[in-house]
Amino acid sequence: MIPAAPVTPRILEELAARIRTGQCILFLGAGIHFPPAEDSPYSYPEAHRPTTGSALAKLLARDCDFENIVPHDSKYDLQRVSLCYETTAGLGRTGLVTVLTRDLETGKEPSPLLRMLAALPFKIILTTNYDRLFERALREQGKEVEPLIYDPTPGSAPLDSSDDPSPDRPLLFKIYGDLSRGESIVISEEDHFGFVQRMSELTTNPIPATVRFRMRRWPILLLGCSLRDYNLRLLIRILRWRQDPAFALPFSLVDPCPDPLLIRVWQDQMHSVTFLIQDLWNFTSWLYREIVGDDFPPEDLSEVPK
């Protein structure tokens, strides 16, 4: 086993200080919707959680006869299965977005973890999630948010915030699209190929200029992510493309069980990521207490207004 650097009080204190002053970018992945451990004071019932990627792939595979069309592929490979689904007669992109909306958003609720994060003074937030649960959590905190959504159209000018982002009016960029715009969603193999091509455009980079500017000066905290995800590693490389490595601050990635080889490459050799080996719910509740000065109260999600 290759050990990661220990999570020292100094590392955590510096991160909390950055967040307290709004000088840290929050990056959310799909794992942000995972439930807490059984001994946690918080709960997140399955009925309120978005469907996981593997479970979603299995549902889509059943509807598009994936196992008969490509019998040697895994029905849990969401990129392959979604490509099959949207190219099947009678289903298509519209049918795919309908299923995604049903299983990722309809009847779902922001978790206590999302509500904790929404209360913190992040000015810039990036997410690969298509759902709008975090937007709901932000608005419950009285914050104004109008997400900027990835545009897959080649050559189109990127959107950007007309004002400097603030804790009360954060800039939220949805890197992989949003359910409200089916064409924006990056989910299939072909979507990901197009995404890499679009992100490599020199003159019309789709990332908002405000985000690109702050990324050169502020650290990025990744939650609900794993570097075992090939697409995340590719995305980090794209985001760091053409940045001077001497001035690039490492990403901080909360992961209770990071891959030892990726620690060797991404932390020890490349110095691109600092692994914080902690449970996501424990880390977030600690961060909330550190910034707000009190514990986030456990709540009955059945009583949360829709």
Question: How would residue 242 be classed by pLDDT, with cut points 50, 70 and 90?
Answer: low
pLDDT over 50 (residue 301): no
pLDDT of residue 303: 45
pLDDT of residue 75 exceeding 80: yes
Looking at residue 23, its pLDDT comes to: 95
Q: Is the pLDDT of residue 158 over 90?
A: no
Percent of the chain with pLDDT over 90: 77
The pLDDT of residue 7 is: 63
- For the chain, domains (ranges, CATH) are 9-38+110-295 (3.40.50.1220), 53-104 (no CATH)
The 8 Å CB, 24+ separation contacts for 152-155 are: 152/177, 152/183, 152/184, 152/186, 152/191, 152/194, 152/195, 152/198, 154/197, 154/198, 154/201, 155/201, 155/204
Whole-structure pTM value: 0.92
What pLDDT is recorded for position 64? Answer: 97
Task: Please report the pLDDT score of residue 212 as a whole number.
Answer: 87
Q: Give the per-residue pLDDT at 246.
A: 60
pLDDT at 237: 85
pLDDT on residue 6: 54
Does residue 302 surpass a pLDDT of 80?
no
Average pLDDT score over residue span 5-22: 85
Q: What percent of the chain has pLDDT over 70?
A: 92
Res 241 pLDDT > 80:
no
Q: What's the mean per-residue pLDDT of the chain?
A: 91
pLDDT at 66 over 60: yes
Q: So what's the pLDDT on residue 257?
A: 94
Q: pLDDT category, 247, cuts 50, 70, 90?
A: low
| pLDDT of 164 strictly over 80 | yes
CA distance 3 to 261: 10
**How much is the pLDDT for 245?**
62
Q: Mean pLDDT throughout 6-21? A: 86
